[in-house]
Structure 1
Amino acid sequence: MQPDDYFLELPQAFWANVRTISQGLGYTVRARPGQTSQIKVPTADEIVTLYRHLGLSSEHLFPRTGRATELGRTLMEYFPYRAAVLEETAEPNLMDVKEARALFDELRDDLRPRRPFAMNKQRGDKSGPALLTGMVNMILESHIGDDCDYDPRQLTTVTRDGLPVRTLARRVDGAYPAVVNPIAVWEIKEYYHTTTFGSRVADGVYETMLDGLELKELREHEGIKVKHYLIVDSHYTWWGMGRSYLCRIVDMLHMGLVDEVLFGREVVTRLPVIIEEWLDLSDV
């Protein structure tokens, strides 16, 4: 999933309203028995009522004198857009463990990787290769070989004239071509064996946001661009239990904190295209 340019570079006040409305009215519609919940698309009346309940003015969005303001109109365009891209792009591409294992096996047979696979942290029958990480690394290896840091064991650092300019607070899951002065970094969040949407999954979203804020600050104040990607999977975890966090991910994407989000099967279709973009940048 790539961001829609229309919703990029919006003021922080826009995202303050998005979060206030999403928190107050909910990210999803509560499901009736036998139905699946949908992503919430608030109405103008619901927003006005919410702001009144919160003791806030809604005049900056929907003046009593008539038509919505530009900010109000953009909000009313963003919420259905967010719902649509999640239902049309995220949900169909998310896999659960059986589908992920089948795609992993297919890639392994086709690409015949040389690198050993990272293992998951499960025990017993659930133990084995980290499937999404393995798929990402197989595709990377098939395109760029060893010119990549597949498992950075140090903090990402950007230097200028031999001196450190910024060092990120967290380790990322991969960097191209290296964790020092990378062109791109990425984070992988695979939760195939998770049975509840706990704090560990939620923290994964906020960790990505922290990295994105640091990289955005680097870009704005030093003029240095490091591409930042989030790669996630598990239909049950993200779509079945964590749709509100998928909404937050779409928000984060359009706040400029992530360059692109890959959902499950998208690693096969989008990652090779992204790698070619990195290679072009490395030749500049």
Structure 2
Amino acid sequence: MFMDVHTARAVFYKLQAELYEKNGYTCALPFNKQKGEKKDYAYFTGIVNILTEHTLRTYAKQNGLQYGRDVKFDDNPLSLSYITDEAGRLQGIMSRRFDGAYPGTENPLAIWEVKEYYYTTTFGSRIADGVYETQLDGFEINTISKETQKNIQHIYFIDDFNTWWNMGKSYLCRIVDMLHVGHVDEVIFGKEVLERWPKVLHELLAAHEVAVQGR
């Protein structure tokens, strides 16, 4: 399932042309942190954002709802995600910002982070620290979910064949361990995002609809 930089670039630009530009989408398409000729869009993050907006817009249209009002997501959370009660009182708050939240950072049903390492040449402490941070996020999310009786899905997107399969397979095993023990609810690997992520979003949409009806 893992992509290399060439495959990820091709998938991103295909989605950008066929969905984003053709339909006038508005989600963020951030750039990577590379310099020189390597500077370009953050391909995997862009893929996730385009697919999210496409899935939510399609759902809204099919159900007579308005995207951005009735159906929405935060594609670039600038605040910490937090939980409030019916009176608006703060019940719990995360320690780190994430790369996306549905439907938003207040009472999210899902929060996710995207890790793409297409230009990595060595498996260093930065990547290892990222895995450890995700595990700590899982502990925190599980604690807050239990204390507030809110089911918050923690989703982890990772990509780059060389990074995870050739250089960091032991840490890839740690990620699978995190999935098995419940520190993340879903791990989406590379091009798996094309089929799996829309299905997860539809599950979230259904859960949100039940929650709204319950109120």
- TM-score class, shorter: 0.7 to 0.9
Q: Deviations over 1:137-176 (max 9, x none)?
A: 0001112244110000111101113111111111011000
Shift of 1:240: 1.0
C-alpha distance in structure 2 between counterparts of 1:225 and 1:275, whole Å: 15
Partner secondary structure for residue 101 of structure 2: strand
Structure 2 residue aligned with 1:246: 172
Shift of 1:221: 2.8
Q: Deviations over 1:5-59 (max 9, x none)?
A: xxxxxxxxxxxxxxxxxxxxxxxxxxxxxxxxxxxxxxxxxxxxxxxxxxxxxxx
Residue from 110, 114, 137 that aligns with 2:49: 137
Q: Which aligned pairs between 1:42-121 and structure 2 lie closer than 5 A?
A: 93-113=1-21, 114-115=25-26, 116-121=28-33
TM-score by length of 2: 0.86
Partner secondary structure for residue 188 of structure 2: strand
- Structure of greater Rg: 1
Deviating above 6 A after TM superposition, structure 1's stretches of 4 or more consecutive aligned residues are: none
* Overall identity of the aligned pairs, in %: 47
Structure 2 residue aligned with 1:87: none
Contact 1:218 1:225 in 2 (8 A): no
Structure 1 residue aligned with 2:64: none
Shift of 1:103: 1.1
Structure 1 residue aligned with 2:80: 155
Counterpart of 1:150 in structure 2: which amino acid?
A: D
Structure 2 residue aligned with 1:258: 184
1:221 aligns with 2:147: yes
C-alpha distance in structure 1 between counterparts of 2:53 and 2:146, whole Å: 32
**Uncovered stretches (5+) of structure 2, i.e. residues with no partner:** 58-67, 211-215
**Uncovered stretches (5+) of structure 1, i.e. residues with no partner:** 1-92
Structure 1 residue aligned with 2:114: 188
C-alpha distance in structure 2 between counterparts of 1:204 and 1:189, whole Å: 8
Shift of 1:251: 0.5
Structure 1 residue aligned with 2:99: 173
| Matched length | 192
Quote the RMSD (CA, aligned, Å): 1.1
C-alpha distance in structure 2 between counterparts of 1:190 and 1:247, whole Å: 17
Residue from 90, 107, 113 that aligns with 1:164: 90
